[in-house]
Amino acid sequence: MSQSNAVSAAQPVLFIPHGAGPCFFMDWNPADAWDGMATYLKGISSRLPARPKAIVLVSAHWLADEFRVTTGSQPELIYDYYGFPEHTYELEYPAPGAPALAERIVSLLAGAGLESRGDAGRGFDHGMFIPLKLMFPEADIPVVQLSLRQDLNPAAHLAAGKALAALRHEGVLIVGSGMSFHNMRGYGDSRFTPLSEAFDAWLTQVVAEHPDRREALLSHWSDGPHALQCHPPGHEEHLIPLMVAAGAAGNASGQKVYSEQVMKTQLSGFHFG
């Protein structure tokens, strides 16, 4: 790819797994449990068409009555995980915010009929800074974080992604940060292995469908095999960032680019574009 084409190419859209709390920055048992995921996250930047001018990240760890957007110029970190080693509460990721981009996002969402507002006091939660420390360790790319809507309505989140799709052509990388399997009772339980594998296989097929079909199936994701055992009702916030990513992808194709069994459950990452 020539330099001129690389610069003009639209950024892809990603749905990434962000692991368990600060798992990549502490000892774990087994010690290599998160190594494969860490390697995937570290390699993402080398597979982009160009360095992003900014990042819009949708985190599973921020829910609000309406869509909210970080508008601060230098948001602080929110260490919203509990019971982990002391040093993990000293991790740093001093990425700047992007107030002008945040205002534009609010405007784009309003134009799509979606209520939203800026939040100047909101910091960056661990669904943002933990994976981005691996993806872009220099912390020098401006980041805006977008919340989920409290109702977790899949169609609304697909629509939010569609509203932001134009940003991809302006050098903005849109990232959904969650987990393709997220049932706290299931991690480490071999009874959930086949259930997670079946749902993962379904999700993989859906992501690769024609965009219209993909949207229809994701709008009814709970009809997938063992879906509600992989994402219990009312706690599907770790899957919903995928809806925003798929909406922002527009007509771009999707595919699974990472998958492995971690803590006896199948976890995957997806790439659109």
Q: What is the pLDDT of residues 181-218, one digit of tens each?
A: 999 999 999 999 999 999 999 999 999 999 999 999 99
Instruction: Please give the C-alpha separations between residue 86 and each of 32, 34, 38, 90, 241, in angstroms, as whole numbers.
Output: 21, 20, 21, 7, 29
pLDDT digits (tens, 9 = 90+) for 141-154: 999 999 999 999 99
CATH class (in words) of the domain with range 3-272: alpha beta
Average pLDDT rounded to a whole number, residues 4-23: 83
* pLDDT given at position 8: 57
CA angle 14–84–29, rounded 5-degree value: 80
pLDDT at 1 over 80: no
Of 78, 80, 66, give the one whose Cα is nearest residue 148: 66
* pLDDT given at position 9: 84
Q: How confident is the model at residue 4 (pLDDT cuts 50, 70, 90)?
A: very low
Q: How confident is the model at residue 7 (pLDDT cuts 50, 70, 90)?
A: very low
Average pLDDT rounded to a whole number, residues 155-178: 98
